[in-house]
Homo-oligomer: A and B are copies of this chain.
Amino acid sequence: MNTLFSKDADFARKFDRLVDARRESDSAVVQTVSDILARMHHKGDTALAEYTARFDNYQLTDEDSWRIAPETCRAAFEALDGDLRDALELAASRIRAYHTAQLPQDRDYRDDQGVRLGAKWTAVDAAGLYVPGGRAAYPSSLLMNAIPAQVAGVERLVITTPTPNGAINDLVLAAAHLVGIGEIWRVGGAQAIAALAYGTDHIRPVDVIVGPGNSYVAEAKRQLYGVVGIDMVAGPSEILVIADGKNDPEWIAADLLSQAEHDPSSQSILITDDQGFAQQVEDSVDVQCAMLSTRKVARQSWDDHGMMIVVDDLAEAPALANRLAAEHVELAVDDPEALFAQLRHAGSVFLGRYTPEAIGDYVAGPNHVLPTGRRARFSSGLSVLDFMKRTSFIQLDESSVNAIGPAAVALADVEGLPAHAKSVKVRLK
């Protein structure tokens, strides 16, 4: 963990370095993934079975071995204890409500020159949802990825998930049952993404692929962007907490650790105007971290990437936050509204002292799939729009084509496109 002071002479330079630091791995993955995609494109299921045997030590043989049956998912759901089932149902219903309110409006109007104009939104036909195997398979992620697709109106929703050594994750299956997904393929990695994008004899292709995964999965999605739609390029998680000295240091330390425990490359940053408070938070991080079952990961993340920035005045914070464009921003102050009004670049913002980031991971309703690595400068969290597209439309009649057509002819002529001009001219009186 490092501490910066905004009043120090070299603060700007050090802060620049923080902004520019990349915590994402590179390049070796690129060629491997490219090879897998090419082989999948040509060999389909044959390659898929080979990769699954090699990487997951799992044999795709008879039909039953390829898929997880809906009955298995139902059984997993019914085996949940009551509190957990209630928690999943509360999460699903709140996520559904928030995303339903995102549904875009169609437009259809006639303007003052008699031109009918509009936009019609439709869902994609099919979406693929990647669910990682092992420790990173979170039922909450399944809800966050599947429900927006369903709200958008996607008719076919399919899951791919690796089952290393045949092991399946009952919690994920329970979540799949809860949202009603019946098509689950036991494949993972870049090869699963390729199968979803290109289609194979077993797996029909989809139009959009979403969901978290390791660096091979992320790179496969990046390389297939354009063949299919993808949610986004995802990197390590991050949180920025902006807190005054009136917070309980234990609360803020817990918030910082909740990002740190995700991954050694996660990043937790505190901006405060109270140096003593920063020290108390640091002490509490140490105490709490030691007690976590995730302490190894959390400790490494905090040691390598943790950061405290002490400013003279919290009014400096929004400008710094906009540079960082963090995935999660907590505003733990009495009047979060004033700071929030100045925040332009952030994935999701948690206002006030009673809104820990983790509440947004599970049950608040907004999506927890959010832009990382400063991508909040230009991209948004997952939403129903990622599963929909807009078709614009235009309708002229004899009168309106005469009103605006001549201008189109003039522009087509000057652009050297005579057939464009002709197609308008023939319709003019």
Task: State whether the Cβ of A18 lies closer than 8 Å to any Cβ in chain B.
Answer: no
Tell me whether chain A's interface is mostly helix, strand or loop, or mixed.
Answer: mixed
B255–A423 contact, CB under 8 A?
Answer: yes
B261–A394 contact, CB under 8 A?
Answer: no
> Which residues of chain B come closer than 8 Å to A355, judged between CB atoms?
394-396, 401
Task: State whether the Cβ of A258 lies closer than 8 Å to any Cβ in chain B.
Answer: yes
Nearest B residue to A135 via CB reads B416
A261–B397 contact, CB under 8 A?
Answer: no
> How many Å lie between the Cα of A251 and that of B97 in the bound state?
49
Task: State whether the Cβ of A117 lies closer than 8 Å to any Cβ in chain B.
Answer: yes
- Using A251-B427, A366-B394 as known contacts, list a sample of 11 further A-B pairs with CB atoms less than 8 Å apart, ordered by residue number in A: A94-B404, A117-B366, A138-B415, A229-B379, A351-B395, A352-B396, A354-B401, A360-B392, A363-B405, A379-B389, A383-B390
Distance in Å from the Cβ of A71 to the closest Cβ of chain B?
22
> How many Å lie between the Cα of A361 and that of B292 in the bound state?
60
Are A356 and B414 CB-contacts (below 8 A) given A390-B380, A392-B367?
Answer: no
Are A344 and B122 CB-contacts (below 8 A) given A292-B418, A389-B376, A419-B288?
Answer: yes
Task: State whether the Cβ of A28 lies closer than 8 Å to any Cβ in chain B.
Answer: no
Task: State whether the Cβ of A140 lies closer than 8 Å to any Cβ in chain B.
Answer: yes
A354–B427 contact, CB under 8 A?
Answer: yes
Task: State whether the Cβ of A286 lies closer than 8 Å to any Cβ in chain B.
Answer: no
> Which residues of chain B come closer than 8 Å to A340, judged between CB atoms?
393
